[in-house]
Structure 1
Amino acid sequence: MARERLLTELAGCNSAETLLAAIFRHHPDISAPVPVEDIARRVGITDIRGLSDEVVSSSVLVDGTGVTAVISCSAALSTPRRRFAIAHQLGHFLLKTAREDGPCSARDLSENRRDTLHRKQEAQANRFAAGLLMPKPLMAASLDSLGKPAIAHVVALAASYGVTTEAAASRYLDVTPAACAILFIKHGVVHYARPSRTFPAMAIQRGDAAPSSVLEDKIDQPTAWITVEARDWLILSRDVRSPKVSMQALAKKNDLHLVMLSINAAAERRADEEAEKYATERPSFGRGVDRR
């Protein structure tokens, strides 16, 4: 009976957010790592199969009635990537956007653009997958328990939620109230760069060379926070005071660096207030009036 109620609720949903809300209402005690395969089977996925084709990432084949489906994933996928692929294809199934022109590529599973119908549908499936594997209430509680932003937290969250480091980083930035940004730098080139909602616009983008402040360090040992030149990372107006930007890096194997940038929003507000106060109180030394 509970399963039928869930299926009825899901049938009336038309967005990733409403689908997730319905699923979590029926799983109030869910914890990390989320049992994605059990949830998939409960809502209409009859089988989850392996694919021998290493080029293909994953696919979903929906039956003629649209009520059940089979998900297939490449056998070459790591466990975290396989979990995300299952959640992504489940999103396609529940959103009724399953592809008819072939399976999803690895690129589709990281798509966030919405400028074409295809990209919009892939981005929707990815939003659903991230929300299912890393539920916002659970992630918010995890961030609260971890305390102030630190790059090592991203790696810890990936392990706890059974997702890739990139997926954990993206969800971290979705949920955190802190002003921070995360970058993945490989062989000195930026491969991933994304700010949180409260972080300023970034000048550095995918494909750019990393600033020299990102230096080699011991593998798996986070560096201390250091102050870096804001203009190396941010888009700034010449007439605007540059914020104080701190950076922490974590070196991984194969010349990969995970980088976190952080701005203390409270300190920046105080600095702006002090600057405004100084400008208001500063005496003016204009030329006096000649009274002769």
Structure 2
Amino acid sequence: MLAAILKHLPDIDTPVLVEDIARRVGITDIRDMTEEGAISGLLVDGANATGIISCSAALSAPRRRFAIAHQLGHFLLKTERDDGPCTARDLSENRRDTPHRKQEAQANRFAAGLLMPKPLMAASLDSLGKPAIAHVAQLAAHYGVTIEAAASRYVDVTPSACAILFIKNSVVHYARASRAFPAMAIHRGDPAPPSVLSDKIDQPTAWIAVEARDWLILSRDVRSPKVSMQLIAKKNGLHLVMLSINAAAERRADEEDEKYATERPSFGRGADRR
């Protein structure tokens, strides 16, 4: 669906004009809503040919853009909800273990892909260079999205081995890793490792080495990779954390270990004693 839309918008630029796109594909109106606890909703006609999107009037501009894109995903993917408007939790859902969560995760994935098209995001990451936690805020401003949305799309698109976490008051609230990053041992609701500390507000720390087993699922007989951490502390007790692994250096280290194991002489009982 995203590929089809982008094919018809070869000159798409950032920030993506999501309301214009919505109206071009069948959304006839985008309204404010006042329903308590609701973020956005979708009302379609009987033939599913046209629709009306509603958004909470209290949303910031980046959250409103994402809410519109989320509902546009429901509209185009024909996953209209039958249990009321979407909540804030729905717009951050990435699990697929129930039909409801799967629908919301699909709509969120669509919204991220529309607001941060992969070709543009890949070019942005390439121009930014090596991973850095400050890049997340830069991308959020460039694409007109929230920090959370930019972080999620970052790890979806980057070829680097990295992970991004939001930690508030020493508890993990968000944790996403790129495809190249090892399986994480820390998830939403878990206490953060003690290494997550900074006394500089709104300033990224230098990269520091951290204990890999605090963050990753590792077998005891496997060499621990070298994990580096960079973070930005906020006034409200929030820490934006990036973990990074130099995949090329890890491959070289594995090759050296394998070479050493192959060439190491054996002096055990079964060794040749001639």
* TM-score bucket of the superposed structures, by smaller chain: over 0.9
Asked if 1:267 corresponds to 2:245, the answer is no
- Whether the 8 Å CA contact 1:54–1:76 is kept in 2: the answer is no
Partner in structure 1 of residue 109 of structure 2? 127
- Whether the 8 Å CA contact 2:2–2:110 is kept in 1: the answer is yes
Q: Which among 20, 39, 44 is matched to residue 21 of structure 2? A: 39
Q: Which among 141, 148, 162 is matched to residue 180 of structure 1? A: 162
Q: Which among 104, 109, 123 is matched to residue 86 of structure 2? A: 104
Unaligned 5+ segments in structure 1 are 1-18
- Tell me how far 1:54 sits from its aligned partner: 4.0
Match of 2:185, SS state, is coil
Distance of 2:272 and 2:194 partners within structure 1:
54
Match of 1:128, SS state, is helix
Asked if 1:258 corresponds to 2:245, the answer is no
Partner in structure 1 of residue 171 of structure 2? 189
Amino acid of the structure 2 residue aligned with 1:49: R
Match of 2:22, SS state, is helix
Q: What's the RMSD between the two structures over aligned residues?
A: 1.4
Distance of 1:208 and 1:52 partners within structure 2:
34
Residues 9-58 of structure 1 show CA distances to partners (whole Å, capped at 9, x for unaligned) of xxxxxxxxxx1111111110101110000000111111100012341110
Partner in structure 2 of residue 245 of structure 1? 227
Residues 66-111 of structure 1 show CA distances to partners (whole Å, capped at 9, x for unaligned) of 2111100001111111101000101111111111221111111111
Mapping for residues 45-64 of structure 1, pairs under 5 Å: 45-64=27-46
Residues 119-153 of structure 1 show CA distances to partners (whole Å, capped at 9, x for unaligned) of 11111111111110010000000000000000000
Single out whichever of 47-56 and 29-38 deviates more from structure 2.
Answer: 47-56
Partner in structure 2 of residue 156 of structure 1? 138
Amino acid of the structure 2 residue aligned with 1:150: A
- Tell me how far 1:65 sits from its aligned partner: 2.7
- Whether the 8 Å CA contact 2:16–2:143 is kept in 1: the answer is yes
- Whether the 8 Å CA contact 2:94–2:104 is kept in 1: the answer is yes
Distance of 2:25 and 2:268 partners within structure 1:
76
TM-score under structure 2 length normalisation: 0.96
Partner in structure 2 of residue 94 of structure 1? 76
Partner in structure 2 of residue 215 of structure 1? 197
Amino acid of the structure 2 residue aligned with 1:129: A
Match of 1:257, SS state, is strand
- Whether the 8 Å CA contact 2:183–2:216 is kept in 1: the answer is yes
Partner in structure 2 of residue 8 of structure 1? none
Match of 1:129, SS state, is helix
Amino acid of the structure 2 residue aligned with 1:86: I
Amino acid of the structure 2 residue aligned with 1:37: E
- Whether the 8 Å CA contact 1:217–1:223 is kept in 2: the answer is no
Match of 1:100, SS state, is coil
Match of 1:23, SS state, is helix
Q: Which among 77, 80, 85 is matched to residue 59 of structure 2? A: 77
Distance of 1:290 and 1:148 partners within structure 2:
52
- Whether the 8 Å CA contact 1:54–1:75 is kept in 2: the answer is no
Structure 1 92/267 Cα, relative in aligned 2: closer, same or farther at 3 Å? Answer: same
Amino acid of the structure 2 residue aligned with 1:277: K
For the pair shown, the structure with the greater C-alpha radius of gyration is 1
Identity %: 82
Amino acid of the structure 1 residue aligned with 2:28: T
- Whether the 8 Å CA contact 2:165–2:242 is kept in 1: the answer is yes
TM-score under structure 1 length normalisation: 0.90
Partner in structure 1 of residue 215 of structure 2? 233
Q: How many residues align?
A: 273
Unaligned 5+ segments in structure 2 are none
Structure 1 283/74 Cα, relative in aligned 2: closer, same or farther at 3 Å? Answer: same
Structure 1 285/155 Cα, relative in aligned 2: closer, same or farther at 3 Å? Answer: same
